[in-house]
Structure 1
Amino acid sequence: MNPSPSPPHTNLQLLGQFRLEFNSEPVPLCGNAQRLMAFIGLRRGVCRSEVAQTLWPDATETHARGSLRTALWYLSNNSHELELVHCTRESLTLGHGVRVDAHTMARTALDIVRDSGPLYADPLLIGLLDRGDLLPEWDDNWVVLEREWLRRLRLQALDTLAERLARHNMPALAVEAALASIRIEPLRENPHRAAVSAHLAEGNMIEALKHYEAFRHLLRTELGAAPSPWFTRTLPLKRR
């Protein structure tokens, strides 16, 4: 008996860039349709008036609602008969079965921060949290606010993950989590401390000291500052 085919699925990528896929094939959308899809994708459900006012803030209410109707028409005619957006007279909600990568990342990060999710000894978990920023080329106010919230959440999750991995005697993965956090914001001390601690847990004193020295040089060059005394005292050798 042949196995049944996998059900079709739709992915909305908002991290790193905008991309809509149906069964791994791209679905092309114009600019306003992309903005509409991204807004509803992030909010899941929203009233029509809020969408119109947010996406077309400089237009009159009549023109904004007209632009919204045009974008919705474009979506419905360029989506391979998919229901990307479910429309009612007053509200718009994300179509059933549309998966949004930003939601997956946020849910995973929140589970880690709350210490409620399983601890996967798998680099794929770190890779999920190390995705790009939310729509980095977009400068709409609603995108900027969501982008900053997700960035802070990712940083907190990666720092927490690095600590949890170190506690569970997985220093190599702890280093990977710390480095992922450093790639996002290299001047924060917490992930550098986590990386140094993980190197020391592996018995790799040389790498720990090299990492500390690189961070010390970065702080001095960029901010004219030095690592905290607490960080320095964690090292096995007396600092000059």
Structure 2
Amino acid sequence: MEFRILGPVELEVSGEIFGIGPLKQRSVLVPLLIDVRRPVMLDALVGRVWDESPPSEVRNVLYTYVTRLRRILEVVEQRSGEKIELRRQSGGYLLDVDPELVDLHRFENLMERSRLVSDDTERARLQKQALSLWRGTPLADLRGGWFSRVREWIERRRLEALSEWARTELRLGRPLTVIEEFGKVVTEQPFAESIIEQLLLALSHAGRPMEALELYASARRRIVDAIGAEPGPSLRRTHEAILREEIEIARPARTHQRVLTGLDEGLSVSP
């Protein structure tokens, strides 16, 4: 069983998608999943679901959705054998379910585990497993100010994870895997300097410095046009290192120059 929010909001039970109700009902469930095992106060829940335009008798409406969700979760508990409880607590509602059954929390846990291991091969495996949980735009079917802010935060977490994975792959001497993956990411995230930076390094490690320099030049033009400022210092340092030919061609299972890091928001382009 898995609650999925790293894409359209879904509940998977025994390999099949289990219906969790209409859009607003899913909107009530998501804040409880994000704050799993922590109470969400009634006023906070109302604000997250309806922004500044709650319906009249909003608490009764909310109670109706919660009642329906409880019935659904009772059936899911019976079918899956997993403990699930949605209850009133501390002036709000709390969803008691194993965080490992929520893809966002599983993603975070896998990334945290990857930071605790010393072996880069195992670290890369855990990072890739975490990233594989993504199915598209998080909360893709939900609208509203709070959901937009959460979506942006989750997307930033993905970019951070991708950068960590790229650094691991480069230490392992596998720049081509980074080039293949990030060729897609730069199209999805055209203002992520951390992704440009890792792609510049991967191209250089792969013996393709001219492509890296062309990528930087194109990215710089676009970021200057967009915000009227130069790229961030981390990306500029990487560019200068490439110009000075300080980045060696990768060899498998070899330790390379430490990858410059930085999660400045910026610009990226397809190689």
Which bin holds the TM-score, normalised by the shorter protein?
A: 0.7 to 0.9
Matched, 1:234 2:241: yes
Map of 1:21 onto structure 2: 12
* Matched AA of 2:214: E
Q: Kindly report which structure 2 residues correspond to 1:186-205, keeping only aligned pairs within 5 A, or say none.
A: 186-202=190-206, 204-205=207-208
Q: CA deviation at 1:223?
A: 3.5
Residue 21 of structure 1 aligns with an amino acid whose one-letter code is: E
Map of 2:30 onto structure 1: 38
Does structure 1 retain, via aligned residues, the 8 Å contact 2:163–2:194?
A: yes
Q: In the comparison of the two structures, how many residue pairs are matched? A: 223
User: Partner amino acid for 1:65?
Assistant: R
Change in CA separation of 1:197 and 1:129 when aligned onto 2, cut-off 3 Å: farther
User: Residue 268 of structure 2 corresponds to which residue in structure 1?
Assistant: none
Q: CA deviation at 1:122?
A: 7.5
Amino acid at match of 2:8: Q
Give, in angstroms, the shift of residue 221 of structure 1: 4.5
Compared with structure 1, are the counterparts of its residues 187 and 58 closer, same or farther at alpha carbon in structure 2 (3 Å cutoff)? Answer: closer
Instruction: Give the unaligned 5+ runs of structure 1.
Output: 1-9
Structure 2 residues without counterparts, runs of 5 or longer: 78-83, 246-271
Say whether 1:167 aligns with 2:168.
Answer: no
> Which residue in the other structure is 1:107 paired with?
109
The 5 A counterparts of 1:169-188 are: 169-176=173-180, 178-179=182-183, 181-188=185-192
Q: Which runs of 4+ in 1 moved over 4 A?
A: 176-181, 225-229
1:156 aligned partner:
160
Distance 1:26 1:129 in 2: 16
Contact 1:20 1:27 in 2 (8 A): yes
Quick check: 1:73 aligned with 2:64? Answer: no
**Offset at residue 42 of structure 1 (A):** 0.9
> More displaced, 64-73 or 169-178?
169-178
1:122/1:157 Cα in 2 relative to 1: closer, same or farther (>3 Å)?
A: closer
Greater length-normalized contact order (CA 8 Å, ≥ 6 residues apart): 2
Matches within 5 A, 1:203-222: 204-205=207-208, 208-221=209-222
TM-score (norm 2): 0.66
1:11-64 Cα deviation digits (max 9, x unpaired)? 11111211122212222211222111111111113245232343245347x812
Equivalent position of 2:265 in the other structure: none
Q: Percent identity?
A: 17
